[in-house]
Amino acid sequence: MLNLATYWIYQAEFQASAAFVGYLLIIIGIGVYASRFSSQGISEYFIGGRRMNRYVVALSAVVSGRSAWLLLGVTGMAYSIGVQAVWSVIGYIVVEIALFLYFARRLRRFAGAKNIITIPDFFSERFPLHEKWIRIVLVGIILVFMAGYISAQFVAGGKAFSSGFSIDPALGIGITAAIVLLYTVAGGFLAVSLTDVLQGVLMLFSLVVLPVILILHLGGWQHIVTELATFDAALLDPVALGFGALIGGLAIGLGSPGNPHIISRYLSIADESQLQTACIVGTIWNVLMAWGALFTGLAGRVMFPELASLPGADTENLFPFLAQQLLHPIIFGIVLASVFAAIMSSADSQLLVAASSLVRDVAEKILSKGQQLPQSRLVLLSRIVVVILVLVSLLMGYLAEDLVFWLVLFAWAGLGAAIGPPAILALYWKRTTGTGVLAGMLTGAGVTIIWRLTDSLRSLSYELIPGFIAALLVTILVSLATSPPDDSESHFSIMKGDGE
Amino acid sequence: MSLFTFLLFVLPFLIIGGAIFLVWIGKNKDRNREFPLQHQLRSDKGFNPAQERATKSSEL
């Protein structure tokens, strides 16, 4: 009998591992497939030659922004605080609708007209008199915040490997980094975008299948609500933690317009009119994934009422643990792959953004001083920079495994506060000046860091809120105090699509 | 209907519906920008479909 049980466990582990390895082989295959296209030049390597279609951009923009936070963090949050977790997803979903429909269209029109590849490129073309300083400041901000962000994705991958396959976390970190490195170095933006599509499908599959099976397993939704009410009525109260928590949750959405790994997706679409379909597809994906995570957390609380019954008494283990308990081993392997999909889809996009800043903005635009460098040399340099960035992030992940997670919290906030308000104003307010934008960027980054490091301030609100407001105000005030730019009219004519 | 039910079961459909509505408005706006004459004809009292078809074919 014991032998039969042991055989079954090995069989289940083998099936789950086979499904997972199958996923890894597919994404590495995509990297190899995309490598020829990406070798043509840095426009192809960093933004897919601006030839991505609406569905690829929709899913790529949505899943790049979510990371493991949605699968592990939001499910854990709904488990702990109940329905109040909904506020943390509403904000970014609504903001991203506006980004697809309005922000992205103007950005894409301007990018097409001015051959813009990176976000620093956009600001430099918009404010050419301040090009050098804008590139230096923005590259600094992107590298500071992105390094921790990428390390944290690798550390999350290591933990997921450890809990899913009982592998040493340090080895898991290395394997995650190696896989992301392989397909990103070879295939660049095309590989990252195509793998994002596969990863988006896997994430949606897991976040729909798991809660449905879980709710049926527990005897229906009404039974779950009754059980939750008996544990703690606050789990069913959307405002139990007060108005401040509600605003803090909604404010997460303020980060979306400033995170370059999300907005660089909009630069890659073949035609700006396709952004409308991309908006609908992206929103459906965002909503289904977010509500799937919420239902999983709420029903998971009924399945495991005591925190101690979760591995490591950690709410972030709820999602994979539920999948292991409830699903067929092959489906469990796919769900586990979806956790990695979430991690990798963010890490690869962040890696490309950081590499593009160094190659395009530093090597090509600042150091070469206007000299034309051969595209083949720039692509080679891009690949070398990706390898170096992976090694640096890997080192950070090993040296500061516990520290990197708090870096993630303010990486989203720091990028959102430093880049978001200047980008919105540069696209919508003709009076915005280069000096105003520079002041706003430095203020957004500075306020976020100071707020995060000061205990008394941190307890007041999420650092993104004061950082975003301060950057917005400073950009406006400094712009008003400096001379208006001469070329705003022509820039706005391009951004509005006049004369098309 | 409680806020709990609204947030979990109505809001997701409202968000998707809202996005589709905004896209529909945007597409109409784009169409009016591409064919301003047709838009003007529609808003005139004496809207003439035959004339609009003739305008469209001449534009094409």
pLDDT digits (tens), chain A, 500 positions: 446 556 666 677 788 888 888 988 998 899 899 998 998 888 899 988 888 999 999 999 998 888 778 888 899 999 999 999 999 999 999 999 999 999 999 999 999 999 899 999 999 999 999 999 999 999 999 998 888 888 888 888 887 777 777 788 888 889 889 989 988 998 899 999 999 899 899 999 999 999 999 999 999 999 999 999 999 999 999 998 888 889 988 999 999 999 999 999 999 999 898 999 999 999 999 999 999 999 999 999 999 999 999 888 888 889 988 998 999 988 888 888 888 888 888 888 889 999 998 998 888 888 887 678 888 888 899 999 999 999 998 988 888 766 666 677 778 999 999 999 999 999 999 999 999 999 999 999 999 999 998 989 988 888 999 999 999 999 999 999 999 998 899 999 999 987 55
CB-nearest partner of A238 from B7, B22, B23: B7
CA distance A455 to A457: 5
Q: Which two tokens stand for residue A77?
A: 């949050």
CA distance A43 to chain B (A): 29
CA distance B41 to A290: 45
Count of alpha carbons within 13 angstroms of residue A184, beta-carbon side: 30
> For position A493, what pLDDT does the model report?
94
> For position A374, what pLDDT does the model report?
86
Instruction: Read off the pTM.
Output: 0.88
> For position B32, what pLDDT does the model report?
79
φ, ψ for residue A162, nearest 5 deg? -65, -45
Could you tell me the CA-to-CA distances from A54 to A61, A107, A269, A289, A496 in Å, in that order?
10, 16, 7, 19, 20
If you count residue pairs, one on A and one on B, with CB atoms under 8 Å apart, how many are there?
Answer: 48
Count of alpha carbons within 13 angstroms of residue A374, beta-carbon side: 4
CB-nearest partner of B19 from A237, A280, A291: A280
**Which residue, among A294, A478, A421, A180, has the nearest Cα to B4 in the 3D structure?**
A294
CA distance A105 to A118: 16
Contact indicator for A196, A177 with CB cutoff of 8 Å: no
- A 10 A CB-CB count for A201 gives 15
Q: What angle do CA A263, A264, A266 make, to 5 degrees?
A: 70
Binding-face residues of B in 2-31 toward A, CB within 8 A: 3-4, 7-8, 11-12, 15-16, 18-20, 22-23, 26-27, 30
> Residue B11 and residue A90: Cβ atoms within 8 Å?
yes
A462 secondary structure, DSSP code = -
> For position A219, what pLDDT does the model report?
95
CA distance A21 to A15: 10
Tens-place pLDDT, residues A147-201: 888 888 888 888 777 777 778 888 888 988 998 998 899 889 999 999 989 989 9
Handedness of CA A198, A202, A205, A208 (dihedral sign): negative
A483 secondary structure, DSSP code = P
> For position A147, what pLDDT does the model report?
85
- Output the furthest CA–CA distance in chain A (Å, rounded): 83
A400: helix, strand or coil:
coil
b/e map A12-42, b = 16+ CB within 10 Å = bbebbeebbeebbeebbebbeebbebbbebb
- Output the furthest CA–CA distance in chain B (Å, rounded): 57
A101 secondary structure, DSSP code = I
Tens-place pLDDT, residues A459-471: 888 899 999 999 9
CA distance A357 to A336: 32
> For position A156, what pLDDT does the model report?
84
Task: Identify any residues that bridge with A434 across adjacent strands, giving them in sequence order.
Answer: none
> Residue A101 and residue B22: Cβ atoms within 8 Å?
yes
CA distance A107 to A426: 10
> For position B10, what pLDDT does the model report?
97
**Which residue, among A478, A431, A471, A473, has the nearest Cα to A448 in the 3D structure?**
A471
Q: Which two tokens stand for residue A357?
A: 């800043």
Tens-place pLDDT, residues B5-54: 999 999 999 999 999 999 999 998 888 776 665 555 555 555 565 666 66
CA distance A25 to A195: 11
CA distance A61 to A285: 11
> For position A225, what pLDDT does the model report?
96
A52: helix, strand or coil:
strand
A98: helix, strand or coil:
helix
CB-nearest partner of B12 from A97, A279, A291: A291
Task: Identify any residues that bridge with A269 across adjacent strands, giving them in sequence order.
Answer: A52
CA distance A471 to A467: 6
Contact indicator for A56, A277 with CB cutoff of 8 Å: no
| Helix (H) / strand (E) containing B34 | helix B11-34
A370 secondary structure, DSSP code = T
Task: Identify any residues that bridge with A321 across adjacent strands, giving them in sequence order.
Answer: none
CA distance B19 to A282: 10
Q: Report the residue of B1, B6, B7 to disrupt the A interface, i.e. the one with the largest count of A CBs within 10 Å.
A: B7
Q: Where are the alpha helices (DSSP H) in A273-328?
A: 275-303, 318-326
Contact indicator for A303, A144 with CB cutoff of 8 Å: no
Show Cβ contacts of residue A77 under 8 Å, excluding neighbours closer than 6 positions: A85, A88, A297, A315
Contact residues, chain A, for B28 at CB < 8 Å:
none
Show Cβ contacts of residue A477 under 8 Å, excluding neighbours closer than 6 positions: A436
φ, ψ for residue A52, nearest 5 deg? -75, 145
> Residue B15 and residue A86: Cβ atoms within 8 Å?
no
ipTM (interface pTM)? 0.88
CB-nearest partner of A238 from B4, B20, B27: B4
CA distance A374 to A381: 11
Radius of gyration (Cα) for chain A, nearest Å?
23
> For position A398, what pLDDT does the model report?
85
Contact residues, chain A, for B16 at CB < 8 Å:
280, 283-284, 287
